[in-house]
Structure 1
Amino acid sequence: MALWEQITCQLQYLPTQTLNELYPDTFPLDIRHYLANWIEEQAWENFDVDNMDQEPQARRLLDKMVLMLQELAAHNPNVVEKVKLQHISRNLSVFQPQPMQLVRTVRDILRKERHLLGQCMPNFPPYQPMLAGPPAANGTPHPSREEGNTDVDNLVLKVLEIQNCRQTLHQLQEELNWEKQETESVSGPNELDPQHPDQVTRKSRIQQLEYNYSVCAKKRVQLLQEALCALEQCQSCLIHRIKSWRWEQHRATIGLHFDENLGPLQTWCEQLLGVNGNLRQELMLVKRDHGGAEQFHTLQDSLDGLLQTLIQSSLVVDKQPPQVIKTQSKFSTTVRYLLGEKMAPGKPVLLKAQIITEAQARNLGQQGVIPNENVGELLNSTAILEHNTSSKSTCATFRNMSIRKIKRADRKGSESVTEEKFALLFTTEITITGCESPYGIQTITLPVVVIVHGSQEINAMATVIWDCAFSEPNRIPFVVPERVPWKQMCDALSSKFMSEVQTRRGLDRYNLHFLAQKIFDQPDISEDFSNMPVSWAQFNKEVLPGRNFTFWQWFEGVMELTKKCLKDYWSEGLIFGFIGKQHLHVILQNKPNGTFLLRFSDSEIGGITIAYVGPSDNGGRKIQNIQPFTKKDLDSAGLGDRIRDINCITHVYPDLPKNDVFNKFFTVPSPPHPDGYLPFKLTTVVNPPTNPSGDDMDMETLEKFFW
């Protein structure tokens, strides 16, 4: 009823002609007044007034309107108002032959009211019809996308209704006091003379005012309850969105999209805090006017609980610390308070950080218990929440944190220190303007793994990747599954690969099939691995058959090499990448000598090899694999130059001349040095195989001098 409440404030300033144009004789102002709430709830804009198929729905709306007016007349104690309502309900029969005309009339009235308010109140929102489907069979619209008043704007309008209702009550009370005073001044202490027309009229007027006051008072309480329900729903949506933001931040570790902008969430938090304050003020005034009924105490408790939840949920880790932290090394992190502009001025708010174990994080989530035991010594573990006027953000930035030492938990079985997860916990007390007492608030970071040596970093990152890729939202800290379907692993590997290499080219089905064959040790299986479970042990605890490294260690080495030396080659599709030798033989067996492709080494961490078709001892063809190039090799001479130098390879698979494909990667010869030194270059030469059964051929680099 927000629109009608606004309109009633402007009616007294409108000329009679404008009022007559706004509310025609067929739809008088009284209908708009008595049925205001119901009228604004209907989807008048969804009607096509020229579509006669919708006439039955329009007729049902007309019948409903007549019935509601008759019910109002039956329950109204004022005889004059009763007769008037009955007369109006009968006059609506003018729309019976053409019910669509009623729809057109009401729709035009609502549009004109909006236009009128737009002129009188420039900040009033323009008319926006309800986002609903066609009218249902009972004449009411299908639920809209904003059903439940989860939209903040609708919630603000709901609060405005309560405030307008309070103002109306105040006006009614003043009129009632005046009428009673006038009555007493005329009649004195004696009873009213029932034969005196003026006194009868005044008595009727008092009864009407008392009735209107009673209805408005009930409406005020009802609106307050409705606003509280709407606030609960809207805040629930906000808390869910904050959790979703944290979840997206978590998943960004494996390269998934993450919008880190907290501005909209901060605005949302501030709006709900303002609504909560307005409702608490209105509730206080209701209790003053109507006494301390039990229902008001319940409403007060609900508002207090919502306020506490909002204040405590508004502390978030804006910039996470590294998820693998080496002791004695510096790192930074930033914590942001979304209600920072609402903090009470005065004493600075100091945020304290401490490192906690997985068990302590679990107790914090389930019981809200701040751990007393320190499991690690943090350097520079305090920071002040400071407001930045340009960005309108309130943050505490820990710039030079360091973990001096860490206390490990007792490990079970084969558990490694790189599988142990910790987190940083941030705590403080904060006072919000308008609130009497401070609130204790806290938040924790994503899980981190603490290492003491750089050699532990790859295994620690495996723990982080598994946690980010396969943990469930709203989990108990920091529970992860022991096994996941291979198709889920595929998504994580491809996403992480693209993110790490900074490329748009992911892993195709051939790459992923080879990775499945490798991790499951089934090189001859061509079936679909999608639903086969892969375990944490297969990912990074058990070494691959015949190797001294795990699957993750090998895969991470490939990513590192591609990121540092092969990004452009990979992005342009020049590297086949992950391919098994069985598949390799299938696609190269009928190709002419000199055909080659680039694949990641199966036997060496961080290596890329050239597989090509060459002559065999018996005059046929044989697939050869050149000794893998590592980052060290490619730092001395790039992959393009090495491909150019190797004479036994001529066409990249399927049949493209290598000089055409790799030409832009060739190094231009250096000009003579001005100091007289002669330039030289490194040339790659492939030695003929000395072991016909070996897969990898030796490669050596010669220095050729130009005299």
Structure 2
Amino acid sequence: MSQWKQIQQLDIKFLEQVDYFYDDNFPMELRQVLANWIESQDWETASNHESIATVLFNNFLIQLERQCSQEQNFLHRHNLKRIFHQIQVKYKVNPLHMAAVICNCLREERRILSTASMQEQGPLEKSMQNSAALEKQKVLDNKVAIIRSSVQMLDQAVKYLEDMQDDFDFRYKTLQLRDPVERNSLSMKQEVTTLQEILNRLDFKRKEILSKIADVIKEIDALISSQLNPELKEWKRRQQIACIGGPVLIGLDQLQNWFTLTAQSLFQMKRQLDKLGELILKVTYEGDPIPLQRPQMEEQVKYLIYHLIKSSFVVEKQPCMPTHPQKPLIIKTQVQFTTKVRLLVKLPEVDYQLKVKTTFDKDLPPGKVNRQFFILTNNTKVMDVEESTGCLSVEFRHLYMLDLAFVSLLQGPLSVTEELHSLNFEAMLMLQGLDIDLETWSLPLVVISNVSQLPGGWASVMWYNLLTDDPKNLGFFSNPLRASWSQLSEVLSWQFSSFAGRGLNKEQLNMLGDKLLGQHASYNDCQVSWSKFWKENIPGKSFSFWLWLDSILDLIKKHLLPVWIDGYIMGFVSKEMERALLKEKEPGTFLLRFSESHLGGITFTWVEQDENGDPKFISVEPYTKNRLNALPIADIIRDYKVIADGVVPENPLKFLYPDIPKDEAFGKHYNSQQNKVCPYIQTQLVPISHRNGPVQNACSSPEPPMSPGMFEIITQHISPFEFESAVKSVYSKILSV
């Protein structure tokens, strides 16, 4: 079943997450009509190679144009043509961007499918998606609606007051025009009495309206302080979690709706107070409540408008390099990065250009960092109204960072990847007599100068965003907090679901817990220090825990992705557990696990029977990315041979643990190129291990495996002894575990 069909079968809560990342950059209509073709292309490679991205972009347009011509529904055809032209204009000069966008969408789909397939959610994910949060949102929806209704009713009350005052004003002026001789007449006295009654009602109505306005102001104040601001804070926390691989970030449009409706209520109340100010210019009297109470209420409304709009200025998309879309908050010097800010309040038309200026490490106290940087490209852009949301936003797409080399030479207690920086955004909004200074900050950034620093930078980003929600705590790594294993294990699983489309199960996480903490009855209460996670080497190894795990992620992403997604790589299993699992299985049963001695290596182990019928466990030297460049893992498993005592090579791999026939598990991943018609004699690279008598130690030869043609020539022209020596120099041997 295609990935897109699997997505369409998910529950609504997961479909809402999918809906979030399909936008104007890549409309969902395209994903639907070109689903199979899109999934058959290598967008990952294209996102890093401009020539491949250009070819894919042109093919994409051809496929879309063909789909347009075949579409029978007039409306659908019209929409596809419109999208065709939008895509053509948007990505013509930057096909790499389109490849990165589609690659990210497919990756997020896999992550959501992985999350949906996991039986249990971790504590962090549960806290992001619990029923109490949904109930709070319903309460907030209701509260905002009630306030809007109250403000609408105040509008009617002010209109009624204005009509009442006009009636009084007309009667009063008419009375003033009457002949003074009639002042003592009965009709005159009755008219004066009527005017006094109207004035009394007018006074009562003014006090009533002012009292209601005061009540609504208190309600809005409470709404902002006790509900809107906490919801915004929770969204920012969810953004942190999404940045490190957690659940897809949703809810910003909902926040925008709440902020906008509340702002509209405040602006409407400001107009109502302005109207009351106009009314007292026509009619006022001793003890009039409007001049006594209105100034204070007006200040309160302005204060609420100011702070509501100010808090609605947010970083919608945290700084990120397009080359590493799943590792935001890491910036490499002299490499383009993007970021986006948004104003959640939809404003009346602004009759001037609202400019946003971005600054790096603004107002950072001296001595806080060893390195200093500046933005090379234009750091000021104008906010535009987005068609899809109607809000003001601006995306900085071509920011570049340079460092001041003479400052960067200074040494300090923190490493490069522990040094945190900040990107600041400022704008000045002038609206209805209010000058609102808008300002917001990105989450702390790590700035690297070499890709070798990327694993350390990502470790810092994960650790920081897992353990603190203070966006200005740039000195965090001077005294980093510890993480509980229950927190950290969930984040580690997210790395595999977000980067490789499949998270880790309980057994795999337990093995990682053993690796990091030693064997414990319960890991959840164990605390992990920052040094143990990233800085200290694993006992007996020359690398740290995270560096080892990150190298495995890189190996999966580049060489093992389809097999990993299918769940055929057990991956994290100790040698002891491996023996226990294979012990009772049929000879030839094997499993795949990641090497604990190599960075970024995978090996397979199978079980055999010795002369006494006892189980014997055989493992091959780990395959690293250099060797997997020559031959995919599925083809290695299909063609793997063991040569023993000159006997014709055989494949010892029969069943993937627990009992899946090898071809059933890996068949769809076999390289089909060998089946193509070719005028030459076909060759096939065959991975071979040599065994003669007792199993030997592994060889570290990086050479690719031998083709059948070469094997036949060698065996025909040299003796078994010479052949054995040749094999030893070329192929990896197997070792007993």
TM-score (norm 1): 0.68
Tell me if the contact between 1:688 and 1:697 (Cα under 8 Å) persists in the aligned partners: no
Tell me if the contact between 2:371 and 2:408 (Cα under 8 Å) persists in the aligned partners: no
Partner of 1:140: none
1:356 aligns with 2:361: yes
Tell me the alpha carbon deviations over residues 203-236 of structure 1, each in whole angstroms, 9 at most, x when there is no partner. 7755643443232122111111022123223444
Partner of 2:503: 506
Tell me if the contact between 1:425 and 1:443 (Cα under 8 Å) persists in the aligned partners: yes
- Displacement after TM superposition at 1:351 (Å): 2.2
Q: Superposed, which structure 2 residues align to 1:124-163 within 5 Å?
A: 151-163=143-155
Letter in 2 for 1:212: R
- Displacement after TM superposition at 1:552 (Å): 0.8
Tell me if the contact between 2:442 and 2:471 (Cα under 8 Å) persists in the aligned partners: no
Distance 1:556 1:383, change over 3 A: same
Tell me if the contact between 1:625 and 1:696 (Cα under 8 Å) persists in the aligned partners: no
Aligned partners of 1:668, 1:260: CA distance in 2, in Å? Answer: 41
- Displacement after TM superposition at 1:450 (Å): 0.7
- Displacement after TM superposition at 1:463 (Å): 0.6
- Displacement after TM superposition at 1:692 (Å): 5.3
Partner of 2:239: 249
Letter in 2 for 1:688: R
Determine which of 209, 222, 227 is the counterpart of 1:220: 209
Distance 1:697 1:631, change over 3 A: closer
Moved more, 388-397 or 179-188: 179-188
- Displacement after TM superposition at 1:682 (Å): 0.6
Partner of 1:705: 709
Partner of 2:632: 638
Tell me if the contact between 2:508 and 2:572 (Cα under 8 Å) persists in the aligned partners: yes
Partner of 1:658: 662
Tell me if the contact between 1:600 and 1:608 (Cα under 8 Å) persists in the aligned partners: yes
> Could you say which structure has the greater relative contact order, defined with CA pairs below 8 angstroms and 6 or more residues apart?
2
Distance 1:507 1:314, change over 3 A: same
Moved more, 560-569 or 267-276: 267-276
Moved more, 205-214 or 689-698: 689-698
Aligned partners of 1:690, 1:381: CA distance in 2, in Å? Answer: 70
Partner of 2:588: 594
- Displacement after TM superposition at 1:512 (Å): 0.7
Tell me if the contact between 2:242 and 2:249 (Cα under 8 Å) persists in the aligned partners: no
Partner of 1:470: 467
- Displacement after TM superposition at 1:604 (Å): 1.1
Tell me if the contact between 2:356 and 2:383 (Cα under 8 Å) persists in the aligned partners: no
Partner of 1:380: 377
Partner of 1:534: 528
Distance 1:496 1:357, change over 3 A: farther
Letter in 2 for 1:350: K
Tell me the alpha carbon deviations over residues 38-57 of structure 1, each in whole angstroms, 9 at most, x when there is no partner. xxxxxxxxxxxxxxxxxxxx
Q: Which segments of 5 or more consecutive residues in structure 1 lack a partner in the other structure?
A: 1-142, 364-370
Tell me if the contact between 2:235 and 2:251 (Cα under 8 Å) persists in the aligned partners: no
Determine which of 136, 161, 168 is the counterpart of 2:160: 168
Determine which of 307, 318, 321 is the counterpart of 2:319: 321
Aligned partners of 1:625, 1:148: CA distance in 2, in Å? Answer: 59
Letter in 2 for 1:274: Q
Aligned partners of 2:605, 2:412: CA distance in 1, in Å? Answer: 44
Q: Superposed, which structure 2 residues align to 1:64-75 within 5 Å?
A: none
Tell me the alpha carbon deviations over residues 263-311 of structure 1, each in whole angstroms, 9 at most, x when there is no partner. 4444444433333222223223435634675643332222222122123
- Displacement after TM superposition at 1:475 (Å): 7.2
Moved more, 622-631 or 245-254: 245-254
Distance 1:588 1:697, change over 3 A: farther
1:515 aligns with 2:504: no
Distance 1:579 1:566, change over 3 A: same
Distance 1:272 1:291, change over 3 A: same
Partner of 1:492: 491
Q: How many residues align?
A: 543
Q: Which segments of 5 or more consecutive residues in structure 2 lack a partner in the other structure?
A: 1-134, 281-287, 321-328, 641-650, 713-737
1:609 aligns with 2:599: no
Aligned partners of 1:302, 1:531: CA distance in 2, in Å? Answer: 48
Aligned partners of 2:316, 2:172: CA distance in 1, in Å? Answer: 62
SS at match of 1:455: helix
SS at match of 1:682: coil
Distance 1:473 1:325, change over 3 A: closer
Partner of 2:425: 426
Determine which of 439, 450, 455 is the counterpart of 1:453: 450
1:569 aligns with 2:573: no
Aligned partners of 1:438, 1:295: CA distance in 2, in Å? Answer: 24
Distance 1:144 1:400, change over 3 A: closer
Partner of 2:684: 681
1:556 aligns with 2:550: yes
Aligned partners of 1:252, 1:146: CA distance in 2, in Å? Answer: 23
Tell me the alpha carbon deviations over residues 178-199 of structure 1, each in whole angstroms, 9 at most, x when there is no partner. 6667888699676687xxxx78
Tell me if the contact between 1:625 and 1:697 (Cα under 8 Å) persists in the aligned partners: no
Aligned partners of 1:306, 1:226: CA distance in 2, in Å? Answer: 14
- Displacement after TM superposition at 1:459 (Å): 0.9
Aligned partners of 2:338, 2:694: CA distance in 1, in Å? Answer: 54
Distance 1:171 1:397, change over 3 A: closer
